[in-house]
Amino acid sequence: MGNNFTIQKLLGILLHRLPMILLSGVLMALIFFIYTSMAIKPVYSTSSMIYIQNYGKQGSTGSDDQDGSTTNSANTDGLQSNNDVAKKIFNSDLAGSAALASNCITLFQNSNDITRYYEGCSVSMETAEDTFYITITASGNDPQMCANVANIVAEKCGTVFHNHFPYGRIGTIREAETPSNPVSPNKVQNTLVGAAVGLILACVIAVLLELIDTTIKSDDDLAAQYKVPIFAEIPDFESAGR
């Protein structure tokens, strides 16, 4: 093969070995699909949501905690709170509740009374930006266990909250449901990745085979090799069947 390696030659090489390239892509896609389906355990994820407030209606009780603990409002001396007088929730209350929720995440994630219930699941907690809503997400290989853990953790967060804060409110907004479909692995994505890997490897191999092939296949290769023009060529009559 000559030293001049042009785009036209590259395309010619790939077209010449197109069946091999396509077959390689299909085989690699099949391998990735089988590996994803049989060797990788599916991971399920579900979440519950709780709220935390540093304010509350006077005399209101009732955390959603199921162990019977209650939440008292900050005003317990018989006087009306500022919220009751103004009949509205102040921005300072919302900002304070958001800050309290953010601090409570650190408390909950480091409490043995909560982490002991993870039961092999991966649990994460986060707040929506500038809100007092906390999402508790549990991920693992058992969908039912993930739902149980997310709900138990939400319940135990109420207990831990009351043990550390004499005021404020906490409750459950949404309970976790058992997920029906895994979040990973993504079979379609992995199959497409396998196909792409197969096609790329086949293209690279095809080019390498052409580069190490020193045989002369055309008069252009001969002219490029010896730097002389070709005026005529003698046909191979035996190969032509004559």
Domain boundary assignment for the chain:
7-39+185-226, 44-174
Q: Is it the case that residue 143 has pLDDT exceeding 80? A: yes
Give just the sign of the alpha carbon dihedral 54, 58, 63, 69: positive
- First-residue to last-residue Cα distance in the chain: 29
Q: Mean pLDDT over all residues of the chain?
A: 82
Average of per-residue pLDDT across 37-61: 82
Q: Is it the case that residue 145 has pLDDT exceeding 90? A: yes
Average of per-residue pLDDT across 98-102: 94
Contact (Cβ atoms closer than 8 angstroms) between residue 152 and residue 58: no
Contact (Cβ atoms closer than 8 angstroms) between residue 78 and residue 174: no
Q: Is it the case that residue 77 has pLDDT exceeding 60? A: no
Average of per-residue pLDDT across 173-192: 94
Average of per-residue pLDDT across 53-68: 52
Q: What pLDDT score does 13 carry?
A: 83
Q: What band does 219 get if pLDDT is binned at 50, 70 and 90?
A: low
The fold of the 44-174 domain, in CATH, is: Alpha-Beta Plaits (3.30.70)
Q: What band does 109 get if pLDDT is binned at 50, 70 and 90?
A: very high
The sheet that has 133-140: what strands, in order across it? 122-127, 133-140, 44-53, 169-174
Q: Is it the case that residue 217 has pLDDT exceeding 70? A: no
HSE-up of residue 201 (Cα within 13 Å, Cβ side): 13
